[in-house]
Amino acid sequence: MDDQRGNLMIEHNDDAFQQLQSVAKEKFVEEFGIDPFWMVSAPSRVNLIGEHIDYCDGFVLPLAINRHIVIAAAPNGTSQANMVSTLFPGEPAVVMVDEDPVMGEPRWANYIRGVLDGFRLKDLWPLPGFDAVVHSNIPLGAGLSSSAAIEVALATLVEGLLGIEINPKNKALLCQRAEQKFAGVPCGIMDQFVSVFAQPDHVVLIDCRSQQAQPIPLADTSVAVIIADTKIQHELSDGSYANRRKQTEIALMILGKDSWREVSMADLEEAKGEMSEVVFQRARHVITEIERTQKAAMAIARGKMDEVGGLMRASHLSLRDDFEVSCRELDIMVEGAWHIGEAGGVLGSRMTGAGFGGSTVTLARAEQAESVMEAMSRNYKQETGIEPHIFSTKAVGGAELSDLL
């Protein structure tokens, strides 16, 4: 069983995932009066390093975590999709599957509508009608990409409805488009790619220029991945994310390059006088973060997790100072982990995700993970008055569909 102390959780097995599926099945029977035909799951993710560079042709290094969206579903023989989400009780959604999907209410279903529209654009339309219950244990607003998980889960369900499997890369890109067009978030490819391509006990090195995903084994099994949700939520459609992306585009235009992969620090220093200080800082983060992520991937492959920890620290400082997407609560959580130090079991820590709140990711020695989490929680609550949600996770596999009948 999972060991829980307050808002600390150490995952020992897959009981939490089995429970998640059981609740979805029970809710489906309650809502629709029959057993579900399919069970779909898609994981959320945490990014070890490589932040705000997935839309800059960079590299990112995420892993899928044991927090999932699950969908229990069955065909209904109609021309509509009837959907209920346990995350948004009282907000059922009905979407016609023989008409062009358009944005609407409830807002949570826009991710669904965007995915369905992607299949329409692939001429896989109209779709068979279906009933579905969406359930999740992904903390909302924690920067762990619940949105990508629901997109990938729904796309995987549609594959089951149609009896097909589309190319994994194309499925991830379809889901990315759904978020961009129907949720208004100009995201890169990382979140959807890792939810599709993840493998157990691996990180995924994603080349965002070539759109290739390479699983890398976590060679050092003595290291735990700790995720700390600060309970400070963010809204990526409020313009902060889009503003940072626009600033990187301005910098690249001034530099006169086709891709950030062609830009060196020397190039940036030479062009410094042509850009504002803020745009220069954004560019410096992109260039240095691309380099850090490549170094981290090589270090993980060699089992040199202490090297990864140092790169994570540098990444957080760059995100805090150059990209300005951290916040007081994230800094407190990260600095609390740094204070514990290697002697206390911490190898590295940084904010993760788009920022402006959300979560941190910490690498720690597995035998000291519990004490690390307790110390992080105690310090954070003392400094902020907020009880965080902190858990240790393993790297899990990507989206799956199971026939239940």
C-alpha 158/C-alpha 128 separation (Å) is 9
User: Which listed residue (131, 191, 229, 322) is catalytic?
Assistant: 191
Strand partners for 45: 64
Cβ atoms of residues 333 and 390 within 8 Å: no
CA atoms within 13 A on the CB side of 20: 21
Strands 130-136 and 80-85: parallel
Question: Quick check: is 191 catalytic?
Answer: yes
Which of the residues are catalytic?
A: 191
